[in-house]
Amino acid sequence: EFTYDVELYLGVTKEATSGVGSITIPAGGSQSVDFTITIPIAEAAYPVYLDALVAGELIAHYRAVEDVAIEISPAIEIGIITWV
């Protein structure tokens, strides 16, 4: 059984991060992991990274095949309705 600290983040300067969490995986096993992240408000394409650490030492650094594209839709404002 192995314990890892893992972090999912967007952008090289970590514009958004899941924070560091701990997972334990049995030897020879695998595990699905869900991450919660707050999406940045700046419109852009962000590379997605996942780091795995053991005892504070980085043992794996992954970059997703595709970036996450954030698009901000304009706010819809409804004014006074005039009946004619």
pLDDT in tens, the chain (84 residues): 899 999 999 999 999 999 999 999 998 999 899 999 988 888 899 999 999 999 999 999 999 999 999 988 777 777 777 776
With respect to residue 58, please indicate whether it lies within any of the assigned structural domains.
Answer: yes
Tally the domains of the chain: 1
**Structural domain contains residue 46:** yes
The C-alpha atoms of residue 52 and residue 35 are separated, in whole angstroms, by 13
3 touches 24 (CB < 8 A): yes
- 40 in a structural domain: yes
SS3 49: strand
The predicted model scores a pTM of: 0.78
Asked if 10 and 68 count as a contact pair (C-beta separation under 8 A), the reply is yes
Q: Is residue 76 part of a domain?
A: no
Strand pairing of 44-46 and 21-25?
A: unpaired
Which structural domain, as residue segments, surrounds residue 63? 2-70
Cβ distance 20 to 36 under 8 Å? no
